[in-house]
C-alpha cells in the first residue's frame, strides 16, 4: 500500500511539472516591421517602436544599437520585459538581435 501511495505521489508530481515551459521560451518574441524612433508618448519606456501584425511594441536594447535600424524593415528577436505594459502602453521588448529584411 505504501508503494502504491508513493508511486501515485511521484506520478502526480511529474504530471504537474510536464506542462511547465522554460520562462525564456515563453517570453521570446519574433517581430517583423519597421523600427521607428519613439517620440512623445503617454507611456515613458523604451527608445523605439515597431508595428507588427497591427500591434505596436515598445523596444529597448542593451546589446543592439537600434538607431542603426531606424526606418528599415527588419526581423527582430527579443524577450518580453516583466511588468509591462503599464499606463495602457504597449508591451516592452528587450531586443537581442535584429536582421534587415
pLDDT digits (tens, 9 = 90+) for 16-33: 554 444 555 778 999 999
DSSP state of 70: B
CA-angle at 31, arms to 29 and 32, nearest 5°: 165
Would residue 7 count as lying in a domain? no
Of 51, 59, 55, 56, nearest in space to 32 by CA: 51
CATH for 63: 2.40.50.500
The sign of the CA dihedral 39, 42, 44, 48 is: negative
Tell me whether residue 49 is in a domain: yes
pTM equals: 0.75
Residue 17 inside a domain? The answer is no
Q: For residue 47, tell me if it sits in a domain.
A: yes
Number of structural domains the chain divides into: 1
Range of the domain at 27: 22-100
Q: Which residue reads 527579443 in cell numbers?
A: 78
Answer whether residue 3 is part of any domain: no
For residue range 52-82, what is the model confidence (pLDDT) as tens digits?
999 999 999 999 999 999 999 999 999 999 9
Amino acid at each position: 500500500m505504501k508503494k502504491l501511495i508513493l508511486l501515485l505521489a511521484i506520478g502526480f508530481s511529474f504530471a504537474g511539472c510536464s506542462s511547465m515551459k522554460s520562462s525564456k521560451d515563453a517570453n521570446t518574441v519574433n517581430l517583423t516591421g519597421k523600427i521607428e524612433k519613439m517620440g512623445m508618448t503617454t507611456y515613458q519606456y523604451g527608445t523605439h517602436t515597431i508595428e507588427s501584425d497591427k500591434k505596436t511594441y515598445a523596444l529597448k536594447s542593451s546589446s543592439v544599437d537600434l538607431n542603426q535600424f531606424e526606418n528599415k524593415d527588419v526581423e527582430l528577436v527579443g524577450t518580453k520585459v516583466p511588468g509591462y505594459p503599464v499606463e495602457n502602453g504597449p508591451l516592452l521588448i528587450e531586443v537581442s538581435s535584429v536582421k534587415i529584411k
